[in-house]
Each structure stands twice: as structure tokens, then as C-alpha cells.
Amino acid sequence: MPETLAERFADYALSIDFDDLTDSVVHETKRRLIDALGCTLGAWDGDAPRAAQRVAAIQESSRGAHTLYGTRTSIDMAAFVNGVLIRYLDFNDTYLSKEPAHPSDNFAATLAAAEVAGASGRELIAATVIAYEIQCRLADAWSIRAEGWDHVCYGSFSTVLGAGKILGLSSEQLVHAQGISGVAHMAMRQTRAGELSMWKGAAFANAARNGVLSVLLAAEGMTGPAPIFEGEMGFFAEVAHGKFDLPALGGQDGADYMLPGTYIKYWPAEYHSQSAIDAALQLRAEIGDASEIESVVIETFNAAVEIIADPEKWRPKTRETADHSLPYCVGVALVDGEVGLPQFAPERFGDESLLDLVSRIEVKADAELDKRYPESVPNRITVRMRSGDSVTREVAYPKGHVGNPMSDDEVEAKFRAQADGRLTEATQSAALARLWALEDETDIEGLLGLFAEAERV
């Protein structure tokens, strides 16, 4: 019998260890963990993370893992809470391809597994690189959103392989865990259609929770449906509606790892809007008085039109819709001259004077810009003033993109900006020092415990 894709993934996960990684890949992994944990601090008082934490507190466990709020709960619920915290602000990293992804979501699973296993920082790094590799390669292979499925479906496999690697599953057990997770936990694209709910920031956290649960079950002897990808009613037939072949995975046959090619966000908004925000902020400095704007045209690529420019995005009713709205993000950038967390507060996205400008923003797909996606994310904005004058700005590589990367100092500054008011400056510095030296870390539980201090600031 030919090797199945689940078998290939399992064997790959078991073949990669820390010593196989380059210094650059290790450093980039640390940057993304710093970024992801910073995002959790910014989301600390969010309604969705707090709801998840209250449920986790009901399931307190003496043998589980900790949420970043400090509660020891079941391993899978710790992954869920921490995953919601990482994703809630739409500020964590991104990968764009046939299917978009937020691969730092995988930290929810690998951190929970590492804590329970007493794993080292080196083991955490290697497992996370594996999870990134699987999710990003799958995103390269097929667009499942076109079939009505959410991108987090790929997390059903990446989280299994990352967490299963740390928890010491065999190849056979990893195949079973992929079968359990894949067959039972496919997510519908309705999560990201129309008016968005809190679940937008919780969907991958649920994939991580289910991935961890599937690993625990497989470790105890539970078998799963197979072949999960190639089966008569498996993933290829029912979700992807076609079979795809993946190239060599990172570290094999000279192939590069995927993790360094992912993008760290500079603004807390959906990634396709990042270059539009950048362009709008540049224009804001040029036009001065935003009240003199007559109209705005955004020329963009097809994916941006499909994902963040559907009709509900012109009058967002939730923060999740606002940070996924191309017209709103551009409008608020032009008016406020900044795009941070306050721009996605209800009182701001409900401001009628701001929405009046948003109503005068037109979004148009441009065939030439579309040809440049996803290698770049080009947005061109033209602002027409009441005087009749117009100004245009185009940005293809926003700050944080692999083509315009943030420096280590900028990544650290982003972390500290979200930690201010949550952690003391001394605790921030202690956490950053340990994160920058993650390969030497031997106490993942103690490292994560620093973040629970946020409640006491």
C-alpha cells in the first residue's frame, strides 16, 4: 500500500528535532512566541477569553495544564483558553497562500503539551516548527474556504502533530490522532462570513483543543478512522474536493522551513488590510483635515474583496467585524491617524460621523494587483478631497511582512505595549529574557506562570 498523507506527516514529525533546525529558524520561532504571548496580554480583559476562562475554571485539574490566567485545568481546555487569548485581537502572525492561516495559533497546543510533559524549550521549539510546517504546507496546497470550510480545519492536523511530538506518541498513534481530529472537527466557513461573532477568535483555539484531546485519546489506545485524507469519505473527498500532493517538507531534501516565511502583524486587524492601513496612514499625514475628504477608492486583490469587503463590513456591529472590515480600517486610519486597540472599541466603530466616511469608501478588485497576491498584499488607495484634488498611495509590503520585516526591537516593543498595565516592567523584562533564551529553558510551567501575574497589576 502506498504511504498515506497522515503516515507521511507522522513520520515527518518524528524525524525532526531541535538539532535539525538552523539558528535562523530557532530565532524566528522565539520572535513568534514573544509576539503571540504579547497578544494574550492585550486580550486579557476580552469578553471571549474571559468566557473561555470561566468554563476552564469549572474543570480545574491537579494533573492538567495552566491557562495564562493561572488556572490549572484539563490539558485541552488550557489549550482552548490560551488559544482564544492568542487569537482574540487578530494581532498574531499570518501566512497567506491559497488558504490564509494564523500559524502562531499552534502555540496553544504545543505550550499545553510542553507544560504537561515537562518538555524543554528545545522540544517546544521543534514541535512548533513542525506544526507551522504542516499548517502552512496545507495552506499552500488547497483553498478550502472556496468549498465552504474554514482555514482552521488545517489546524486539526498541525496541532496533533505538534502536541503529539512533545507527548511522545508513536507514528501509528499520530496517524490515529490525525484520524480522530480530522474526522470529528471540521469547521464551517460561516465562522468568517457576514457579521462576525466572538467565535472568529475562538475557532482555531477549538481546533487546538480538539487536536490535544485527540492526541491524549490516541496515546491511551483509541484508534481513529483511516485513511483520513484519501478515504472514500475522507478529507480529499468531502472537504478539499480534490487530492493534492505536497512537496518536500522543511528540513527534507534541502527544503526550507515555512515558519520564517510567516508575517508578524504591525496593526491589530485582518492581514489583507495591513497594507491598506499603511497606505491610509501615509495619506493621513499628507491630507491633514480628514473632514475635507469627499470619497475614497480602495483598489485591491480578489481575496481582500472576498474576505473583508462583504456588505456587512460597511457598518460593523462587533469588534470582530470591524477588524475584518477593509473600508472601516481605512476610514478610521484616515480620521484618527492611528490604528490600535482603541479603534476597535464599540464606541469608535459605532461613531456615526466615522461611518459616514466609511459609507463613501468604494472597494474595487484590480486584476493587476490580484496577480501580485499572495507574494505581496498590494492595496492602492485614492482619496478625493472636496476641493477636487486627489492623492493616491500604494503599499504592497506592510511593516511585518517577510518583505518588510519588523526588527527584534520592534517585536519587543509590540510585546511591551500590550504588557503595560498588565505586567510590571520587571516581569516584562524577566519574561522577555527567558523567551529570547527559550532554547535553554527547562521550566515551561514557570515561564508561563509569569503571565498569570497580569491579574495582580
179 pLDDT higher than 80? yes
pLDDT the model gives residue 453: 75
- Half-sphere exposure at residue 137, Cβ-oriented, CA atoms within 13 angstroms: 23
| Predicted local distance difference test score (pLDDT) of residue 455 | 66
Q: What is the mean pLDDT of residues 342-363?
A: 97
**288 band by pLDDT with thresholds 50, 70 and 90:** confident
Tell which residue, 282, 249, 2, has the closest CA to residue 140: 249
For residue 286, with 0-12 CB atoms within 10 Å meaning exposed, 13-18 middle and 19 or more buried, which class applies?
A: exposed
**Cβ partners under 8 Å of residue 455, min gap 6:** 69, 70
Tens-digit pLDDT profile for residues 356-410: 999 999 999 999 999 999 999 999 999 999 999 999 999 999 999 999 999 999 9
Interval 328-353 mean pLDDT: 97
CATH number for the region 5-261 comes to: 1.10.4100.10
Which part of the chain is CATH 3.30.1330.120?
Answer: 271-395
What is the residue type of 168? G
> Is the pTM here over 0.85, yes or no?
yes
Q: What is the pLDDT of residue 202?
A: 98
**The pLDDT value given to residue 62:** 83
Q: What is the pLDDT of residues 294-315, one digit of tens each?
A: 999 999 999 999 999 999 999 9
Which tens digits make up the pLDDT trace of 214-236?
A: 999 999 999 999 999 999 999 99
Question: What is the reported pLDDT for 213?
Answer: 98
Provide mean pLDDT across the span 339-367. 97
With 90 as the cut, is the pLDDT of residue 144 above it? yes
Q: Tell me the average pLDDT across 315-328.
A: 96
Range(s) within the chain of domains with CATH label 1.10.4100.10: 5-261
How far apart are alpha carbons 322 and 328 in whole angstroms? Answer: 6
Which residue type does 222 have? M
Q: What does the pLDDT look like over 103-132, one tens digit per residue?
A: 999 999 999 999 999 999 999 999 999 999
pLDDT at position 441: 98
Q: What is the mean pLDDT of the chain?
A: 96
pLDDT score of 457: 64
What are 384's strand-pairing partners? 295, 390
Q: How far is residue 131's CA from residue 194's CA, in Å, rounded to a whole number?
A: 30
Q: What is the reported pLDDT for 63?
A: 85
Domain 271-395: CATH architecture, name and number where available = 2-Layer Sandwich (3.30)
pLDDT of residue 60: 85
Q: What is the mean pLDDT of residues 168-179?
A: 98
